[in-house]
Structure 1
Amino acid sequence: MQMRRAGAVLASATMALALSACDDAGGSSVVEKIRNNGEVSIGTKWDQPNLSLKDGDGDPEGFDVDVAEYIVKELAGGRKVTITWRESRQANREALLQNGTVDMVVASYSITAARKNYVTFAGPYVVAHQDTMVRADASDITTATDLKHKRICQVPGSNSYKRITESPPDGQLGLPARLVAANDYPECVKKLLDGELDAVTTDDMMLAGLSSHDPDQYKLLNDPFTDERYGVGLKKGDEATCEAVNRAVAKMWQDGTAAKLLRKWFGETGLTLPTKPPPAEKCG
């Protein structure tokens, strides 16, 4: 009886070691998965011109996409990697990371204190600034503080409206604006043109892309009032990948790629483009 029990214990331990070995082969972190399996799934937005826009059956294109591809190439150490792109909207980014649908999110994903409770952030790879866009003929809104009692857009999962209506840390101005719901920022822009909104306020890079197809219809106030640190979202606790991504981002700025990509996607939008790398987040 004791011999059979000892054999069972030994078999159980052997199976556990085998499973552990399989886990190690697959990689317990995203950077290991990339290097061992040659594949990775990345969440991006699919409706953000110049940042990440998916048109038809092709892959998404934009600044965020190019940054993600650069980072993956660096993490792979020269190995070939297959990237699966998945749509990651404002409202579901944390859930996609937590349930393993995506390995990382590169989607104009501002690093905030509240989000850090659920996500490990690497980067930031660039700093945007919240600004405000109005119709070209608007004259009653010239600064963000003029949004008091005005109709602004509220997109699920976005913090932009909170910057207007709430106080720090995740808010900013604490103004009593009127919120109008929309599913995404392209819908916000449509509501603005249709007269259902007085302004759309969010990151200047997003506004520049959204207005680029018909710039005569819109006016950006050029009144930035926040620093939006775009980070790479990872599953909570994946510090190894966080450190590897931070090294890749540092190299991207050092070798001139960051400046090149910013010029590629925003060089003709009128934005003042950053020239220095932002300080990296601590991964611990």
Structure 2
Amino acid sequence: MKLRKVSAASAAVLALALTATACGGDDKDSGSSGDGKKITIGIKFDQPGLGQKTPDGYAGFDVDVATYVAKKLGYTEDQIEWKESKSADRETMLQRGDVDFIAATYSITPERQEKVDFAGPYLLAHQDVLIRADDDKIKSPEDLNAAKLCSVTGSTSAQNVKDKLAPKAQLQPYPTYSACLPGLQNGAIDALTTDDSILAGYAAQSQFKGKFKLGGFKLTNENYGIGVKKGSDLKDKINKALEEMVSDKSWDKAVEDNFGPANYKNEPAPKIGDIKS
């Protein structure tokens, strides 16, 4: 008799466990609604002004855009899990489902569109140069012919300038963009080149305010989009959120908050699907 009672109790426990599993599922939601407990978003952790991990949390324009989008999808800030998305890892992270979407200075290109889908664009950036605030010699890309140009390992920006615009530029190798800034400040190099939004983010740091300026050369168009897994229904939902961010002026505030100190002359908010070549 006692054995039968134990068996009945065990059966009841098993039934409850199966019910909970069927109703609860995985903690991680697909990102298509706010019913899940969290949403995982990929950002850069090392780009001031765009995506940076700080002692106080995460900050930057990409972070502000991603947070706004997440809220429109039904998530609160404490339901967001931030994950570092290095440039070389972004497509793989989306394809594996490591993140729900990525906002990480992610330029929309035909090659990338074969692997992932993009919402946006949400920012039109350009390759530019950062020079000292008192520099009066570099006024055009051609003036870089007589300049020492920071070349960052793994980046093609400086090499592109040398190949296409200023063949006599002297490329000076540095490990990171951050490492270029002291050299630019003390005259070891004359210019640093990458996307103007990234340069503005570096220049806006408190220790560099007023020391640098952008050349304003607009050497290329870089259409930043939000990457999602191929075929994801998130694309349309994120596009709608981005349109709302522009219409309610939250986009303008995010630009001013993150790039204002560098006097960044940003382009107007791009229209969804309008990719500048």
TM range (shorter): 0.7 to 0.9
Tell me if 1:160 matches 2:152. no
Q: Counterparts of 1:79-90 in structure 2 under 5 Å?
A: 82-90=79-87
**Matching residue within 184, 192, 204 for 2:184:** 192
- Return closer, same or farther for 1:263/1:107 CA change in 2, 3 Å cut-off: same
Tell me if 1:142 matches 2:136. no
Q: Which residue of 2 aligns with 1:262?
A: 255
What runs of 5+ residues in structure 1 fail to find an aligned partner?
A: 1-17, 168-172
Identity %: 35
- Return closer, same or farther for 1:61/1:29 CA change in 2, 3 Å cut-off: same
- Amino acid corresponding to residue 46 of structure 1 in structure 2: F
Aligned CA-pair RMSD: 3.5
Tell me if 1:233 matches 2:227. yes
Does the residue aligned with 1:233 lie in a helix, a strand or coil? strand
- Asked if the contact 2:41/2:81 (under 8 Å) is kept, the reply is yes
CA offset digits 1:90-142 (Å, max 9, x no partner) = 34333333343333221222222333233322111121222111234545432
TM-score (norm 2): 0.75
CA offset digits 1:205-233 (Å, max 9, x no partner) = 22122112323432321222322211112
**Matches of 2:112 and 2:169, distance apart in 1:** 24
Does the residue aligned with 2:223 lie in a helix, a strand or coil? strand
Q: Which residue of 2 aligns with 1:204?
A: 196
Tell me if 1:127 matches 2:124. yes
CA offset digits 1:38-74 (Å, max 9, x no partner) = 3122222222222222222x32112111110011111
**Offset of 1:245 from its aligned partner?**
0.9
**Matches of 1:215 and 1:129, distance apart in 2:** 21
Larger radius of gyration: 2
**Matching residue within 261, 267, 270 for 1:277:** 270
CA offset digits 1:137-164 (Å, max 9, x no partner) = 5454322233347543444665534653
- Asked if the contact 2:27/2:38 (under 8 Å) is kept, the reply is no
- Amino acid corresponding to residue 176 of structure 2 in structure 1: D
- Return closer, same or farther for 1:99/1:52 CA change in 2, 3 Å cut-off: same
Q: Which residue of 2 aligns with 1:52?
A: 51
TM-score (norm 1): 0.73
Q: How many residues end up aligned between the 2 structures?
A: 253
Tell me if 1:37 matches 2:30. no
**Matches of 2:241 and 2:231, distance apart in 1:** 16
**Matching residue within 59, 70, 77 for 1:72:** 70
What runs of 5+ residues in structure 2 fail to find an aligned partner?
A: 1-17
